Amino acid sequence: MADTVKNRFTGGAGYAPLTEQSIGGFLESSPQVSNVLGGRSQDWSVREVGDGNLNLVFIVKGPTGGVCLKQALPYVRLVGESWPLPIDRAHFEHEALKAEAAVVPNLVPEIYFFDKIRAAIVMELLEPHIILRKGLIQGIRYPKLADDIATFAAQTLFSTSDLALPAGRKRDQQSMFSLNIELCRITEELVFTDPYRVAELSRWTKPQLDDIAAEFRVDAHLKIAVQELKWMFLSRGEALLHGDLHTGSIMVTSEQTRVIDPEFAFYGPMGFDLGAFMANLLLSYYSQEGHATPDDDRKDYRRWLLDTLETFWRSFESKFLELWRIPRTGDAFVPGLFEDEGGRRALEAYRFTFVARLLQDSIGFAGAKIARRILGLAHVEDMESIGDSDCRARCERRALNLARQLMLGRNSITSIAAVRQLAETCGEGDL
């Protein structure tokens, strides 16, 4: 038992972090990868490009193509070896990617090879895609983004829920992903706990935000609201979540969208994924003052971001409801119970009640995800790249004001239009 636990963190015999020098020999063991790259390892170029918080990421190019290799490290890269982390998170990421590819193959990268011992996934090289967050910082518009992420969310959440799956199959899946314990614990601490207490690793723009950071730590009503959200995160295994659906986990061109990095995958409340995406659009919205230039005040772009927020939710709602209306095999809301006219009307009314509750869940989680990116350990480039600390703090304060209102008032917000109006109100003046 002790060796099993140790191997989850260290990989045991056979695991070692890959390097630019060792990758060629490793990839030659996969005929599919070799076929994609062409030639032999001496013909391949390797570049380490990882800029995330957890993993090594390499780009490998050969005469006929390229691949992306992602390897889990046995610690949190952002912090160092003092924070150990199990490498078997790569297994959960691989399983999540397979589940996503089963329903939205055009919205995730193709997987070529997975080595469980080395905790390495080799996948499609997405070019000329860029990380969505970087595109939003540059003020680039993506006309297909809202509908693509709505499709991704509706399909992945519905298809892994009791609405679509027989109960036994869903429990099997839920049991497997329940072992992704340490990644869930990171979320539980960094999202729902640390911003509301004195925490060693938390940080914020000082001294400008010292006052509001202190307010978040002493506001009992706010802490109750966020702990209610944490309770939902801990106890509601509604569907298989991506678990980290922010704008750094999405790669885009003007024509294509790909969702990557589901290593935080687990069965949880649907609103957590939806709220994560909404939160990052809102963080981008509030950051735009810091990226404005004399030639572009970013006001039109800010409107586009809120348009995207509204379109995303409305498209998700429509797609999710449509999936629920077609024949399915899930054990929840068995269609045979609602075959007469009155039953059909009652079920249709409940579907709208369900998505209305889902919006309120998403709103609350969005607030929590905004707050953690400003008052916690891991911040976002949208804000961090603003060089003027006073301007950055001004943007962050507006976002925090919205976050607080979303968490405290989520049960009284009944439409995505109301979220937009609240975001606009919080974005006015120096709050």
Task: Assign 117 to helix, strand or coil.
Answer: coil
Rounded Cα distance between 292 and 279, Å, is: 21
Work out the pLDDT band at 335, boundaries 50, 70, 90: confident
Work out the pLDDT band at 425, boundaries 50, 70, 90: very high
Alpha-carbon Rg for the chain, nearest whole angstrom, is 22
Rounded Cα distance between 33 and 66, Å, is: 9
**What does the block give as tokens for 40?**
């032999």
* pLDDT attached to residue 430: 44
* pLDDT attached to residue 50: 76
Q: Where are the beta strands (DSSP E) in 62-146?
A: 66-72, 75-76, 80-84, 111-115, 120-124, 130-131
Its pTM stands at 0.95
Rounded Cα distance between 183 and 86, Å, is: 9
Work out the pLDDT band at 429, boundaries 50, 70, 90: low
Assign domain 2-124 to its CATH architecture. Answer: 2-Layer Sandwich (3.30)
Which whole number is the average pLDDT over 100-122? 98
Asked if 287 and 395 count as a contact pair (C-beta separation under 8 A), the reply is: yes
Tens digits of per-residue pLDDT, 175-215? 999 999 999 999 999 999 999 999 999 999 999 999 999 99
| Angle subtended at Cα 46 by Cα 41 and Cα 50, rounded to the nearest 5 degrees | 145
Task: Assign 427 to helix, strand or coil.
Answer: coil
Tens digits of per-residue pLDDT, 259-315? 999 999 999 999 999 999 999 999 999 999 999 999 999 999 999 999 999 999 999
Listed by start position, the domains of the chain span 2-124, 130-426
Examine the pLDDT at 1 and tell me if it is beyond 50.
no
Which whole number is the average pLDDT over 212-230? 99
The answer to whether the peptide bond before residue 105 is cis (omega within 30 degrees of 0) is: no
* pLDDT attached to residue 77: 80
Mean pLDDT of the chain: 95
DSSP state letters, 261-330 = --TT-EEE-HHHHHHHHHHHHHHHHHHGGGG-BTTB-SHHHHHHHHHHHHHHHHHHHHHHHHHHHS----
Work out the pLDDT band at 325, boundaries 50, 70, 90: very high
Pairing mode, if any, of strands 55-61 and 66-72? antiparallel
Residue 290's closest CA among 278, 298, 300?
Answer: 298
Q: Which CATH superfamily is domain 130-426 in?
A: Aminoglycoside phosphotransferase (APH), C-terminal lobe (3.90.1200.10)
Rounded Cα distance between 314 and 89, Å, is: 33
* pLDDT attached to residue 81: 85
* pLDDT attached to residue 96: 99
On the question of a common fold for 2-124 and 130-426, the answer reads no
Work out the pLDDT band at 7, boundaries 50, 70, 90: low
Q: How much of the chain exceeds pLDDT 70, in percent?
A: 96
